[in-house]
Each structure stands twice: as C-alpha cells, then as structure tokens.
Chain A
Amino acid sequence: MTATVTTPRSSKPPKSPSAPDRRIVDAERRAKRKRAYERPGVLTYALLIAFFVGSAFPLWWSFVIGSRQSSDTNLVPPAVLPGPNFLSNAAKVFDTVPFLQALLNSIVISGAITISVVFFSTLAGYAFAKLRFRGRTGMLLAVIATMAIPTQLGIIPLFMLMAEWQWIGTLQAVIVPGMVTAFGVFFMRQYLVDVIPDELIEAARMDGASMWGTFRHVALPAARPAMAVLALFTFMAAWTDYLWPMLVLSPRNPSVQTALAALSASGGQNPDNAMVLAGAVLSVIPLLILFFVAGKQLVAGIMQGAVKG
C-alpha cells in the first residue's frame, strides 16, 4: 500500500491574513489570480524537461538495450535508439525463467488481493463512516493505530503459519496475508464520511431498506471513485512486492518480481544483459498499460490523499 492519506483538516476556506470585506476582495482576487499563477518562463520548461528525461531515461534505456545486444551497454554516449532484437531477447526471457507462469501468477495474486482489500475496506469503511455501533470510536482508533504497524516485521511467524498450513509454494501464501489493510479501511472511511449525507442513510432506513440493501444501493455507488483509487494502489503494491513472495513462492512457480530477480542472477559471471533488461521491460509493461489508462487517477489519488480530508 503506497498511497498517502492524512487525517481530516478543516474544510473551511482558509482565511486570508488581512480578511477585509469579502465581496470586494473576491472581485479583486479574481483579477489578481493571473498574477499569482504566473506563466512560467523557458527555464521552468527546461528544468521540467530535464527531470522528465531523468525519469524516463532508465526505462527507455532498458528498452533500448533490451532490443539490441549486451555489449551495447557500454557505448559512449549511451545508446538511445532501439535495435531489432527485442522479440528475440524477450523469447530468451521466457526460455530462462517461467515468465508466462509468473505473469499469470502475479495477475491472480494482485487481482485477488485487490478485490479482497477493496471489498473489505469498503464494507468496514462504510460502517465506520456512517453506521452507529458500540465501540465504533475505539475500533476506529485501533485501525488507525495498526496502520503504523509495518506488517513485514511479522514475516517469521507468518512464514511458520504458512508452513503449518502447508501453503509454502502456493499462491494463497501470498494472497491471504495481503487480504486486508488498515490503510484501506481508513481510506474508505475518510472518503465515505463526507460523500454520503447521513440523511440519505436515514431515509433509506425509513423506507424499510435493510442494512445490506442500504450498503449496496447507497454506499457502493457513492464509494466507487474511492474504490477505484484504492484498487489502483493496492494492485500496484501487490504487483511490485518482493520480500514476501520471495520467501514463500518457489522458483518453479514464481511471481513476476521473483522471476525477474532470478533472471537477473542468471548467467553468473557472464550475464546476458540485453535479455535481463528485456525482462525488466516485460515486467513493467502491465503496470505501464495501467499507467497510460489510469495515470490521471493515480496522480489525482496521490494529490487528493495528501490534501483532502
């Protein structure tokens, strides 16, 4: 889980320091807004382009080398144009590690974790946001407190548990420990507390709707945008995780990340760098697609997580 969220803060519009008569100021403010949001100069764009190149170069260069040959890694200046070998290098990836299996496994693992986290988080988040029950405050505090627990510190007993259940080497050993997150519950609660008016819940109850019915017909539709954001971040976190899958999955039945790690080690003293980088590119493609489809939502998710309350 990687998105950030902060506790609510005042939703009132911040007061301007000199708070004179509002109506007058408003008009002036609109006129001056242009000045505050200045049109940036060339330098801004130059710096942004430089940063963009820095952000994109490693990935692009991986693709470039992945489509050429290993000896091209040491070209000066670095190679910047792709070659013709990407498919043959990619084919070698599939020969060296069970990459197809890894892709399927990662899709199953990340998909199952995402569905589970989003469902349970919405359910509990809704209860915390809109339903009254004994111990609600205390339980919510417990959720907030447990958010701080780095669960990866529990890997030893978790490993023992998976061994006890004879799950080592199976996908459920990765899925089950990821099925809920305190963050998800908190995230959904924060969203739903504002977005659903209490009156709506009350009205549904007056109409004789069951609690489940209210959840399904009132809460779920309202929660959809937040669920989408939570799903995105959960999927990405599950897809990119390495430590736990490395411990419980077997090399025969890997995730994308453990397979890529094995690929990177292949070749010993004389690794086939072009193939390894082609593998790195392949491992990124699914999230790259996600990024192109939902990049805006990712950006918004990060920025809202930081600001909204």
Chain B
Amino acid sequence: MNSSRSRIAASVAGAAALALIATGCSTGGGGGGGDEKITLSITTFGTMGVDASYEKYMEENPNITIEATNLEGGGAARDDAYAKIAAGTGLSDIVAIEEGWLGTIAEVSDSFVDLSDYGIEDVKDTWLEWKYDQGTTTDGKVLGAGLDIGPQGLCYRGDLFEAAGLPSERTEVAEYFGGEDATWDRFFEVGQEYVDNTGKAFYHSPRFFWNSFVNQQEEGYYKKDGETLNIEDNEVLKAQFAKIVEAENNELGAGLPGWEVGPEAKAGDFAVYMCPSWMLGIVQGYYDEGTTDSGWDFADVLPGGAANWGGAFLGVAESSEHKEEAAKLALWLASPEQQGAAFEVAGPFPSTPEGQKLVADTTNAFFNDAPVGEIFAARSEGVIAQVKGPEDSNIQDNVFGPVFDRVSQGEVTDPDEAWDEAMELLNQLVG
C-alpha cells in the first residue's frame, strides 16, 4: 500500500512539523549551549506550518539556524532518504522516518546515529514502551525518537447504519461489534447483515482490514529477528486471508482499492473505514471544509483488538556535522508538549502518554463531535510493537494488494488459489 504509506507519512510529517509548533515548554532546555553559529537541516514530510516553531526554537537557541525541507508524501521522503543513504552524502542532519520503512533503514543502521549516545535513554519513559522499542534495532541501537502513532478505531456512517437497522450511536456500535472483545468474525457477520439489509457494500477495500489484521499479530510479515519471513506457513494469516476472500465473494467490499473515493463516500457506497488517527483528515478531505452532516462517526472499537498503523520517528544522520545539536533538536521536537500541539492542529496522535493527556478532551466536529482524543488514547492500549522487516511495505504493496484487487474484481474466488497466487508473487518479489 504505497499510497497508504504516503498518507501515513504525510500525516506524520505533520507530526514532525507540528511538534515544533508547541512553543511554550521546551524540555530540551539546558546543556549544549555555546555561541558557535550552527545551521541544522531537517527533512520532514507533510504540510502544516512548521516555520513558527522552528523560529521559536531558533529564538530560544540563538546560535542555531534551522534549514527545513518539507516533502509532501512519505513515498518521496522515503525514496529521497534511500538515495541519500546510498550516495553516502546529502542526508539532512535530522530526517523524519516512517514506521513502514524503518526496517529498511535499520538494515543500514550505520547511516543514523544511536540516539542513546545523545541522552534519549534519560527520557525513555516519556514514550509508550512499544513505540520506543520500535525505534530500537534488534541489536539495541536507538535509531529514531518517536513522534506519532496510528492507533485505529472504526469510522462508520451513522446514517447508513441506522437505515440498515443497525445501532448508530457510537458506544452502541462499539458494543455491537463486540466492544473490547470484538473479533473479525463478528465484523464480517455485521457486514453481512448490513449487505443483506441494504444491498450495498459494507467496506471499500479489503487491503485496509488485512493491514490492520497483520499489524495485530505479535509477528507480522517477519519473525522477531526482522529477517525471517513469516508468511508462507503462517496458518493464522492464511485463515484470515480466506475469510476476506469469502467476504469479497459475498459482496461485502465495494472494490475500491484507491484512496480517491470521495464521490463513493458521499454516495454512501460503503459504510465503514479503518481509521488510524491520521486517517480522520483523509476522510474529512472528501468533503467540503466545515461539513458536519456527512453522517460519519467514529467508534472506540477495532475487530481483533488494538492495532497500530503508521507513525514516524526522527533520526539523526551519521553524516551530520553537528550530531549533538541535531539530536537535541530532534528530542525537543519529539517531546510530549510538541506532540500534543501537533495533534491539535493536524491530527497525528502523540506517542507519549503525557502528550496524549494534553489532547484527551479533543473532539472532532466532522465525526459527529466524537471525543477522538479519548478514543485514540483508549485504542492505543495493548498495541504490539511489531518488528518490521526490510520488505514490509513491499509485501503489502506488491504481494497482497494486487491479489486482493483481483479477488475484489471477482477474477479469483477460491481462497486457496488466491493464497497461492500471493505466495507466487511473494517468491517473485522477495524470495
């Protein structure tokens, strides 16, 4: 899911950027200092107004000049980072890294400094444990300071649920799916009910649900060592895969693999959407600014338990001439205060409990005034720090994505056949 990664990345960039906006409480005050004039470059991805926060930091640290580059789209940021790592020159002092390609960076971890050499261990406790672990390589090197996370809840169309004779109030909806014990089986059951009652599709693409499911497992596409593939004989994945194929055969999906589904959303062609925090903005983007009557709502539930989708880190390039100062800035940007401010403006959810507290009472008017701050905090409990391998995003994009599309289009209907196709692609691409 290239595009999904990019979205994540984009929102994350927002995190990187917005983290800076929170001006008030700089945690990284002391130390360093010095009067030497230094220019620090930083490459982030996403859109929102970072300039003010850079200026704030520069005000507080008059000897620092920040030279910021903001790339739109995580794909661009990733490819740029790869190219610069390969070239051995040209990385910014600070680079925003997305969860999806962190595994690749970890393979060539000598391109980035070990942040534990620069005091990240002193503030280790500010982060959710799994987030901190995710930024740490298997051999214990801390490559990145966590910015945001992507806990997932369920976006749903209250109006359509109601018309289909399902509960529509968000706590009832969560309960209907099984609340804390929501399972994927129940999800497909509800979906079937919806389809039977309305004759319309329930969700827009199986890609999203598959992604959530994989992220819920203790080991995803890779074993814990981050090197051994964990797909071919994985009966858990295979069983879920078969369930999705069956759901597709039963017309639960609308066959829309892309993101550009605004008209379909407006037309009510599907009723639920997997929503990590950064996804809220995307759904909202399908509608005119200020819309509040779209019917979309947001429930505190995810089939199969908690799952994370996306999130970014800030790394400091080994090639930087000012590692000390760069690390200091990176940690400041990843501090709870900055994370909280980022969420207020852009939606990337803080990876620090303290930051989450700062945003706990945030509500979202587009989603029927849902208490999103509270829901995401709840949804981030129990998330597993899954080890990502070097080809994680490749597998998602190029192995399962296309096969699901073929299934959605009715070109393959037999689960085993579809699975075999996927395995063939897997060996083709990674084997």
Q: When A and B assemble into the complex, do they touch directly, with CB atoms less than 8 Å apart?
A: yes
- Name A's B-contacting residues (CB within 8 A): 159, 162-163, 166, 168-169, 247-248, 250-252, 262, 265-270
Contact (Cβ within 8 A) B87 A168:
yes
Q: Contact: A163 with B86, CB < 8 Å?
A: yes
**Chain B residue contacts of A266, Cβ below 8 A:** 47, 72
A-side contacts of B90, CB under 8 Å:
168-169, 250
CA distance A168 to B82 in the complex (A): 12
Q: List 9 A-B contacts (CB under 8 A).
A: A166-B88, A168-B84, A251-B80, A262-B72, A265-B73, A267-B47, A268-B10, A269-B282, A269-B285
Q: How far is the CA of A196 from the CA of B7 in the complex (A)?
A: 61
In addition to A168-B89, A169-B89, A252-B43, 6 A-B residue pairs with Cβ atoms within 8 Å of each other are A159-B83, A169-B87, A251-B43, A251-B76, A267-B72, A270-B289
Interface size on B, residues (CB 8 A): 25
- Decide yes or no whether B171 CB sits under 8 A from chain A: no
Identify B281's interface contact among A251, A265, A269, CB under 8 A.
Answer: A269
Cα(A199)–Cα(B367), bound, Å: 86
Please tell me if B46 contacts chain A, counting CB pairs below 8 Å.
Answer: yes
Q: A251-B71, A251-B80 are in contact. Are A268 and B86 (CB under 8 A)?
A: no
Contacts of B76 in A (CB 8 A): 251, 262, 265
Shortest C-beta distance, A95 to chain B (Å), equals 9
A270 and B92 alpha carbons, distance in the complex (Å): 27
Contact string against A for B residues 268-303, beta-carbon threshold 8 Å, 1 for contact and 0 otherwise = 000000000000011001000100000000000000
Q: With contacts A251-B43, A252-B67 known, is A265 near B88, CB below 8 A? A: no
Which B-chain residue is minimally distant from A263 (CB atoms)?
Answer: B72
| Residues of A with C-beta under 8 A to B72 | 262, 265-268
Asked if B234 is an interface residue, CB under 8 A from chain A, the answer is: no
B285 proximity list for chain A (CB < 8 A): 268-270
Nearest-CB distance from A251 to chain B (Å)?
A: 5
Bound form: Cα–Cα A169–B89 in Å: 8
* A252 with B88: CB separation less than 8 A: no
User: Which interface residue of B7, B46, B69, B90 has the most chain A CB atoms within 10 A?
Assistant: B90
- Complex Cα distance A268/B289, Å? 15
Closest 10 CB pairs of A and B: A269-B285, A168-B87, A169-B90, A265-B72, A163-B87, A266-B72, A252-B69, A168-B90, A166-B89, A251-B69
The verdict on B41 contacting chain A, using a C-beta distance below 8 Å, is yes
